[in-house]
Amino acid sequence: MLRLKSKITAKDLSYILGIRQQSLNETLQKLEKEGYIVRTPIP
């Protein structure tokens, strides 16, 4: 999914995945802390 659309909000991604935004944010924080992803603000 992210290869097709690299700029996506956590809100949109949680909707696509069918999970709560809070759950996704917790997972994204862990992935970012471990260096697997880089999160940047979308203007």
pLDDT band at 1 (very low <50, low <70, confident <90, very high): low
Kindly state whether residue 42 falls inside one of the protein's structural domains. no
DSSP 1-43: -TTT-S---HHHHHHHHTS-HHHHHHHHHHHHHTTS-------
Domain that holds residue 3: 1-37
Q: Taking all residues of the chain, what is their mean pLDDT, rounded to a whole number? A: 87
Kindly state whether residue 43 falls inside one of the protein's structural domains. no
Query: How many domains does the chain divide into?
Result: 1
pLDDT band at 34 (very low <50, low <70, confident <90, very high): very high
pTM as predicted:
0.74
Average of pLDDT values for 11-24?
94
